[in-house]
């Protein structure tokens, strides 16, 4: 089975650059890369108000959309859990 392509929006890339520590950024990038193998991993949740999913990485959340037809995962938003859903 082929992997999914990872697409990151410009705003999500800026949000990733703004994450607190280098170690947190590395963990988030590793989590995003793992979505290429399994776009709906154990622990991911579908958001009720949107056709998006989210995964946790420490105190941060990664929100994304899965396009099964294109075999792609689009990273929409990355942020601290207290403000990512606004």
Whichever domain contains 16, its CATH number is: 3.30.2310.20
Range list of H helices, the chain: 10-17, 22-37
Within a domain: 85? no
Within a domain: 86? no
**pLDDT tens-digit series, residues 39-68:** 999 989 998 888 899 999 989 999 999 998
Within a domain: 70? yes
Q: Please indicate whether residue 4 or residue 84 has the higher confidence score (pLDDT).
A: 4
The whole-number pLDDT of residue 12 equals 96
* Confidence band of 20 (pLDDT split at 50, 70, 90): confident
Q: Which domain holds residue 37?
A: 5-80
The whole-number pLDDT of residue 1 equals 55
The order of strands in the sheet holding 60-67 is 5-8, 72-80, 60-67, 53-57, 45-46
pTM assigned to the model:
0.89
HSE-CB of 63 using CA atoms within 13 angstroms = 19
Phi-psi region of 58 (alpha: psi -120 to 50; beta: other; left: phi over 0): left
* Confidence band of 83 (pLDDT split at 50, 70, 90): confident
């Amino acid at each position: 089975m082929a992997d999914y392509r990872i697409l990151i929006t410009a705003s999500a890339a800026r949000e990733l650059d703004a994450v607190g520590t280098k170690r947190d950024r590395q963990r988030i990038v590793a989590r995003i890369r793992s979505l290429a193998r399994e776009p709906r991993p154990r622990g991911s949740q579908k958001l009720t108000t949107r056709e998006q999913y989210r995964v946790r990485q420490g105190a941060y959340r990664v929100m994304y959309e899965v396009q099964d037809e294109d075999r792609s995962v689009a990273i929409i938003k990355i942020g601290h859990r207290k403000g990512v859903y606004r």
